[in-house]
């Protein structure tokens, strides 16, 4: 497939070619006019000489002396036998260019002859060639001047309006936060249909996104109650002696209900983020407590594969700024993914370390890892990497981790773990009293949303 050509280059080339085509037509027209003028002047000479000869020459013997008196420099006349007539034609000779013709002539004694007229047109042809050379030079100069003038004209009249329109269109990042519509009336006339079409498309996308967000938000709210009831009744039945034979089934129901509840919570977080109602707090947190709490909570279901790795520095880690509950939620998602993607008995290591300006929590596994080309894409909604084949998952867990970490002023990233596998990292800024007082205000301030989170 041929690459797209530059519109500016195409317009410049077309304009220059049009200028050259105009001068070419002018050259052709000049040549035609000069040819017609020479023939007309030649025919007038023939008519004048023929009239004078008819009046003064009675016989062919009187032709030479009469002609000698009449001829001007550059002209030659000769009588030829009848039947020798031919149209005017140019003859190039060593000493110049001759225009000659032979026309019928009736003498006064009734004899019919042919009058040969030879006219020297060397000066006329030279003048014509000089005119053509001047036209060619003018054509070249005009083409160059046109090309030079077209650059600023194209820049101000085409390139800049297109660049301005492109910047306005590129500001459209997400249907949830659409920019103001383009001002169609202030666009150049040729760009107004494009601006109007983009505005219409933006309205359709925003409307579709709003319907999708409302649907997800509504469905997530509606699912929370039945899922909670299913989980609660399953746990209640598990505690009853009469349901001892149903233990495996009730445990499966309870586990699936918890998994569905987690998915619904993730969907609610995404919907709240899109609506600008995501609730979380930034406050000083002890990362070591969060890591230990998550380890104790998840170790029982990890079959001994979850390992807690102590920090290399024996000193206590500094405080981080974030939401402890949301940080624990992110850590649980990463540990759960690591346990599912690394086959037993490969361990999953959980650790924390401090850098110069942040605290980093590591979740390292010995699974297939994440390809470099997928390390950004897997944090998108409903996106799963190649390693997720034949593995259960909704594709929204990592997306929720990313939006929660960004809302806390941190980030999540993945790299290759030492020895192979994936190393997922949660990075949070350090909590410093002076900086936190200016940036956070009072301890526990809400940084996203309008109302405090429900208990």
Tell me the pLDDT tens digit for each residue of 342-379.
887 889 999 999 888 889 999 999 888 888 888 888 88
Q: What is the sign of the dihedral through the CA atoms of 124, 126, 129 and 134? A: negative
Give the pLDDT of residue 176: 61
Give the pLDDT of residue 450: 39
Mean pLDDT of the chain: 80
Confidence tier at 311 by pLDDT (50, 70, 90): confident
Confidence tier at 220 by pLDDT (50, 70, 90): low
User: Can you tell me the distance from the alpha carbon of 149 to that of 159, in angstroms, rounded to the nearest whole number?
Assistant: 14
Quote the tokens at residue 444: 């526990």
Confidence tier at 390 by pLDDT (50, 70, 90): low
pLDDT of 40 strictly over 80: yes
Confidence tier at 167 by pLDDT (50, 70, 90): confident
User: Can you tell me the distance from the alpha carbon of 353 to that of 9, in angstroms, rounded to the nearest whole number?
Assistant: 56
Where does CATH 3.30.450 sit in the chain? 7-143
Give the pLDDT of residue 335: 92
Give the pLDDT of residue 175: 63
Confidence tier at 441 by pLDDT (50, 70, 90): very low
Give the pLDDT of residue 276: 66
Nearest to 100 by CA among 129, 82, 80: 80
Q: Which residue has the higher pLDDT, 259 or 113?
A: 113
Q: Is 280-448 in CATH node 3.30.565.10?
A: yes
Give the lowest-confidence range in 15-19, 126-130, 174-178, 411-415.
Answer: 174-178
Q: Which residues contact 23 (CB under 8 A, 6 or more apart)?
A: 135, 136, 138, 139, 142
Q: To the nearest 10°, the Cα dihedral for 298, 383, 255, 332?
A: 20
User: Can you tell me the distance from the alpha carbon of 426 to that of 402, in angstroms, rounded to the nearest whole number?
Assistant: 9
Q: Are strands 306-308 and 348-354 parallel, antiparallel or unpaired?
A: parallel
User: Can you tell me the distance from the alpha carbon of 414 to that of 226, in angstroms, rounded to the nearest whole number?
Assistant: 36
Where does CATH 3.30.565.10 sit in the chain? 280-448
Q: Which residue has the higher pLDDT, 403 or 239?
A: 403
7-143: CATH topology: Beta-Lactamase (3.30.450)
Give the lowest-confidence range in 333-342, 351-360, 440-449.
Answer: 440-449
Give the pLDDT of residue 438: 44
Confidence tier at 394 by pLDDT (50, 70, 90): low
Cβ atoms of residues 27 and 132 within 8 Å = yes
The pLDDT of 283-294, averaged and rounded, is 90
192-271: CATH topology: Helix Hairpins (1.10.287)
The pLDDT of 48-58, averaged and rounded, is 78
Q: Which residues contact 32 (CB under 8 A, 6 or more apart)?
A: none
Give the pLDDT of residue 434: 31
Give the pLDDT of residue 428: 92
Q: Which residue has the higher pLDDT, 448 or 224?
A: 224
The pLDDT of 407-429, averaged and rounded, is 91
Cβ atoms of residues 355 and 368 within 8 Å = no
Where does CATH 1.10.287.130 sit in the chain? 192-271
Give the pLDDT of residue 360: 92
pLDDT of 55 strictly over 80: no
């Amino acid at each position: 497939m041929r690459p797209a050509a530059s519109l500016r280059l195409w317009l410049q080339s077309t304009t220059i070619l049009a200028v050259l085509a105009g001068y070419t037509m002018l050259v052709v027209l000049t040549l035609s006019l000069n040819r017609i003028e020479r023939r007309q002047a030649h025919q007038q000479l023939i008519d004048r000489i023929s009239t004078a000869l008819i009046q003064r020459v009675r016989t062919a013997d009187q032709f030479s002396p009469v002609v000698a008196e009449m001829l001007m420099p550059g002209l030659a006349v000769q009588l030829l036998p009848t039947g020798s007539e031919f149209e005017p034609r140019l003859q190039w000779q060593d000493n110049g260019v001759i225009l000659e013709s032979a026309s019928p002539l009736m003498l006064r004694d009734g004899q019919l002859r042919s009058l040969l007229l030879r006219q020297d047109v060397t000066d006329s042809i030279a003048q014509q060639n000089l005119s053509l050379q001047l036209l060619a030079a003018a054509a070249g100069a005009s083409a160059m001047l046109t090309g030079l003038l077209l650059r600023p004209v194209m820049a101000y009249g085409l390139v800049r309006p297109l660049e301005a329109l492109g910047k306005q269109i590129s500001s459209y990042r997400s249907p949830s936060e659409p920019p103001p519509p383009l001002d169609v009336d202030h666009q150049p006339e040729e760009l107004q249909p494009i601006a109007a079409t983009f505005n219409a498309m933006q309205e359709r996308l925003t409307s579709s996104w709003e319907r999708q967000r409302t649907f997800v938000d509504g469905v997530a709210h509606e699912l929370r109650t039945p899922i909670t009831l299913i989980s609660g009744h399953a746990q209640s039945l598990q505690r009853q002696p009469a349901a001892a034979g149903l233990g495996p089934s009730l445990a499966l129901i309870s586990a699936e209900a918890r998994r569905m509840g987690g998915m619904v919570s993730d969907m609610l977080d995404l919907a709240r983020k899109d609506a600008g109602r995501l609730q979380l707090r930034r406050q000083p947190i002890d990362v070591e407590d969060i890591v230990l709490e998550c380890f104790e909570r998840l170790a029982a279901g990890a079959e001994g594969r979850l390992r807690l790795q102590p920090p290399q520095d024996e000193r206590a880690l500094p405080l981080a700024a974030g939401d402890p509950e949301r940080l624990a939620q992110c850590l649980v998602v990463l540990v759960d993914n690591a346990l599912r993607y690394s086959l037993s008995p490969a361990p999953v290591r959980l650790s924390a370390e401090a850098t110069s300006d942040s605290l980093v929590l590591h979740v390292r596994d010995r699974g297939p890892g994440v390809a470099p080309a997928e390390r950004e894409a897997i944090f998108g909604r409903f996106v799963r990497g190649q390693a997720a084949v034949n593995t259960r998952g909704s594709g929204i867990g990592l997306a929720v981790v990313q939006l929660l970490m960004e809302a806390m002023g941190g980030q999540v990233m993945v790299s290759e773990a030492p020895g192979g596998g994936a190393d997922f990292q949660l990075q949070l800024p350090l909590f410093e009293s002076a900086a936190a007082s200016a940036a956070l205000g009072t301890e526990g301030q809400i940084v996203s949303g309008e109302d405090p989170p429900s208990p």
